[in-house]
Amino acid sequence: MASSVAQGAGDERAAERPVLTVRQVFDLADRVGMRPVGNIRKTPDGYRLGFGRDGGMRTSPERYPTRAEAEQALWKMAGAGRADNTRDQRFRALVLLATFASLPWGEVTALRRADVDLQARTVRIRAVYVERSTGPLVLGPPKSKAGRRIVGIPAAIIPDLRRHLAAYVQDDPGALVFPGVMGGPIRRGNFRKLAGWPHAVEAIGMPGLHFHDLRHTGNQFAANSGAGLRDLMARPASGTPMARRPEQPRGHEGPGSGHTS
């Protein structure tokens, strides 16, 4: 399954979004939340970079004209193994579930513990978060009846979900499955910063990847695995005729049966 960005065929439609391979999805899940250990300080002749290495702190001899260039150099050093990393694993399951269940940001971040059934390998979609341009997050029902549905998830990511629920989710049916650091709903901008999203997607060879592309990738996985039309249309809940049959659990395993494409 090749990773590709299909370009428009000379028409006015926007270029199709990229599709990850299964290996890239798991690589991305491994990298989100990973941050380099280091600091940047301004000097009269530019910016100096301090970085962690083998538990200690060292100073790079290079000087950088801007803070942004110094920060980019720190990320590259960490990616090459020349600087230590810290890692917040709370975002690993978020990436995996959003991809293999084809869930957009507003749906996956609105999930509650009671919505996840690990034994049945399903998640129930019944609410969505919308971030208004004025700032507040608004919780409400999906836009259409098709949005209220049950979606199956592959057995391969069940262990990740189980570990996530044990480590990061309160033992309450109404607890958010993917809370922010302070326990409330997580905002997209905060996620990008905390997860190091731009650096993570660049590290897997997909610079510019959007979170929304994970859902597109999941739908493509299902299509390539031979899922039926009814199954595919139920996943994005787009309001199409098939998607108007909510609460239909999926029955196939999809491509998540292994970490390789």
Non-local CB neighbours of 197 within 8 Å, separated by 6+ positions = 32, 191, 211
Residue 50 has φ and ψ, to the nearest 5°, of: -105, 140
Condensed to tens digits (0 to 9), the pLDDT of residues 165-190 reads: 999 999 999 999 999 888 899 999 99
Largest interatomic CA distance in the chain = 65
Q: How confident is the model at residue 16 (pLDDT cuts 50, 70, 90)?
A: confident
For 94-113, the three-class secondary structure string (H helix, E strand, C coil) is HHHHHHHCCCCHHHHCCCEH
Question: Could you tell me the two tokens for 177?
Answer: 């499955």
Condensed to tens digits (0 to 9), the pLDDT of residues 233-258 reads: 445 544 433 333 333 333 333 433 33
Mean pLDDT of 218-246: 55
- Domain residue ranges in the chain: 38-83, 89-244
CATH architecture of the domain with range 89-244: Orthogonal Bundle (1.10)
pTM of the model: 0.77
How is residue 117 annotated by DSSP? E
Residue 259 has φ and ψ, to the nearest 5°, of: -95, 5
pLDDT given for residue 215 in this prediction: 94
Please state the length of the chain: 261
- For residue 122, how many C-alpha atoms fall within 13 Å in the half-sphere facing its CB? 14
Mean pLDDT of 190-194: 93
State yes or no: pLDDT of 96 exceeds 90.
yes
Instruction: Name which of 10-19, 117-126, 137-146, 202-211 the model is least confident about.
Output: 10-19
